[in-house]
Structure formats: structure tokens, C-alpha cells
A = this chain, B = another copy of it.
Amino acid sequence: MLNDPMVLAPVTEAIRVEPEKRIRDRSATEKAILKAAKSLLAEEGFQNFGINAVARRAGCDKQLIYRYYGGLNGLVEAIGADLGNWVRDRIPEDTGGMFLLTYGDLMERLSLLFLEALRDDPLVRRIVAWEVSESTEQVRRLSEARSKALANWLDRMRGSLTPPKGVDVVAVNAILIAAIQHLVLSASAGGQCAGLALKTSKDWEKAATALKRIVRGVYG
């Protein structure tokens, strides 16, 4: 009954009235797909991230995603490729006119820069949430690209400053980064973290002050 061709025939003809052609431009379509995927992930989160949703948002057929990116896998990989540039694009490289004399000066500044950059970037926030929620190879690659870019940035900014002796810098910095990431994610999801409100700019000032104190406590 559903497959009765008699019913389908007139329908196709009626739709044909509006030509409304999509221009044949592969690279443009590819960009549209990638842009749609990024905005979808940023706005809806990884939960509702799928072939159908991306295709809908890109205004194209999902088949093209398979053809051009090899499915969601390749698409995510393409997103991950941009992650390497994230730090460079979103975080200023200069010192903001400050003289960073000690490693503590540096890490205090970098912590706040990272905090603000993350607060301003919904896409990366979603990706970080994804990283701690799923354990697929897919996500692991994303995570790796991001942490590598982050490590590079840290290293580049360090310059000739030497960290204090006797401190496991990698471990301490990892904990600081973890704190910042979770703080921002919690705030983004629920407006608070462990009883600390994180909505108004006043709230964030308090958080930033506490973060500075922690960094200074460990790095002087």
C-alpha cells in the first residue's frame, strides 16, 4: 500500500515545479558542510551531532557528507584539524604589555588567558565535554590534537623562563588546566561549580582571583 507507485508519481511531478538548483561547486559545498558541522556541534553539543542533523543544517544531502568526508568520522577529523590552530587564533601571543619576569608571572597570565579563551569558544567547550564523556577512538584523536596544541602553546609562551626546581611542572599544569576546563564546563552547563556561582562577571572575578591565588601559591 505504501509502495503504490500510483501515489508517488504525481507527487514527484508537483515538487518539480520549483527548480531551485544548488550550484555545482564541490569546494563550496565542502566548506558549507564543515561550517554546519562546527556550528551544530557548538550549539547543540555532541549529543545531537549526527549525519542527518549536519546535512539538514548544511542544506545539502547527507550523501555528500559520505562522499566528501567519508562519513562523520572524517568530518570530525576535519574539525580536529582546525583545533591545532585554535590556540593561535583565539589566544593572544603577546604579554599584554606586562613583563613576565618569573614562571609564576607567566602561568598566572596564561591561566587567565586560557580561562577566557575557553569561556568565549562554545565549540571547544563542547569538544572538551565530549572528551570526558565518550571514549571512542574518534574523540581520543580530538583530545590528542587539542592537548598537543595546548602543550605547544605553553612551550612557546614559556620562552626562556625556567620553571622552579623540584616541581613536577607537567603534573601541576595539567591540574591547573583541568581545573579551568571543568570550571568553564560546569558554568556553561549549570551556572555554578561545587556551590560557587558562575554567572555574573562578578562571579568570574572571584573565580579568577582564586585561580590566581592558587597559581601563585604553587609557583610563587
Binding site for B on A (CB under 8 A): 1-2, 4, 45-47, 49-50, 72-73, 76, 129-136, 138-140, 143, 147-148, 150-151, 167-168, 170-179, 181-183, 185-186, 188-190, 192-196, 206-207, 209-211, 213-214, 216-219
Contact A178 B179 (CB under 8 A): yes
Query: Considering only CB atoms, which chain B residue lies closest to A144 in the complex?
Result: B190
How distant is the Cα of A132 from the Cα of B133 in the complex, in angstroms? 9
Kindly list the 3 A-B residue pairs having the minimum CB-CB distance in the complex, ordered from nearest.
A217-B217, A179-B179, A182-B182
Q: Nearest-CB distance from A180 to chain B (Å)?
A: 8
Query: Considering only CB atoms, which chain B residue lies closest to A206 in the complex?
Result: B171
Contact B214 A168 (CB under 8 A): no
21 contacts between A and B (CB under 8 A): A1-B72, A45-B134, A47-B134, A129-B133, A132-B133, A133-B133, A167-B213, A171-B210, A174-B183, A174-B193, A174-B195, A174-B196, A174-B207, A175-B214, A178-B178, A178-B179, A178-B193, A178-B194, A213-B218, A214-B214, A217-B218
Contact A194 B173 (CB under 8 A): yes
A interface, by DSSP: helix, strand, loop or mixed?
helix
Q: How many copies does the complex hold?
A: 2
Contact A194 B150 (CB under 8 A): yes
How distant is the Cα of A47 from the Cα of B139 in the complex, in angstroms? 14
Query: Considering only CB atoms, which chain B residue lies closest to A219 in the complex?
Result: B217
Partner of A147, one of B133, B140, B195: B195
